[in-house]
Chains A and B, each alone.
Chain A
Amino acid sequence: QVQLVQSGAEVKKPGASVKVSCKVSGYTLTELSMHWVRQAPGKGLEWMGGFDPEDGETIYAQKFQGRVTMTEDTSTDTAYMELSSLRSEDTAVYYCATKNYGDYYFDYWGQGTLVTVSS
């Protein structure tokens, strides 16, 4: 059973960066394809990017290209999502979510991290 535990809520000023972590237990990061999905208040789910095992690379949604960086520390089985140049529209709950290799669905989710961008 995979468990994903995310870091706590953050409050940032416009223009700043935020880095959210997602600690994996029950599996190792190398066995999973890690992705990030966000949800603005009262809105739907929006995929930001994740690891594509077919290419062996992390791919990002075009909307976030140049502003988001997703990394992994396999020594601690922790994934990170860093979003820069924050604006108020980035206020959202950010989720990490995993897929097994070869699957196209997210079967495990973190509890979510609220990032608030406010001056």
Chain B
Amino acid sequence: DIQMTQSPSSLSASVGDRVTITCQASQDISNYLNWYQQKPGKAPKLLIYDASNLETGVPSRFSGSGSGTDFTFTISSLQPEDIATYYCQQYDLFGGGTKVEIK
């Protein structure tokens, strides 16, 4: 079975900072890696699909990269409204999540 390792589990950054989250698969998953944002009490929201494609309507400060086993999600300039938990997902498996807070 494929394992997904997401890190860090939490981070604290200042407004305007560049934030990076990684997701590592235990075997090659090509570009089948997606990223979601979940705010408290809300359903997850798709941000990035197929590793690097920005979902319609999502701000361009969000981006994704990678292929094979190593993937990166980046917020280029953290905004207060980005406070949330972020998850990577491959087919039927989600990463453990990264809680992003403002310093």
Tell me the A residues contacting B by CB distance below 8 Å. Answer: 37, 44-47, 61, 95, 97, 103-107, 109-112
Contacts and interface: CB of A to CB of B under 8 A. Distances in A.
Interface residues of B, number: 21
Contacts of B32: 104
B50 interface: yes
Q: Is the interface of A mostly helix, strand, loop or mixed?
A: loop
A26 B63 CA distance: 28
Interface string B72-102: 0000000000000001011111111100000
Given A44-B97, A95-B43, A106 B55 contact: no
A45 B34 contact: no
B74 to A, nearest CB: 18
Given A44-B94, A44-B96, A107 B46 contact: yes
A43 to B, nearest CB: 9
Interface of B: 32, 34, 36, 38, 43-46, 49-50, 55, 87, 89-97
B92 A61 contact: yes
B45 A105 contact: no
Given A61-B92, A107-B55, A45 B46 contact: no
A109 B36 CA distance: 11
A110 B43 CA distance: 7
A44 B90 CA distance: 14
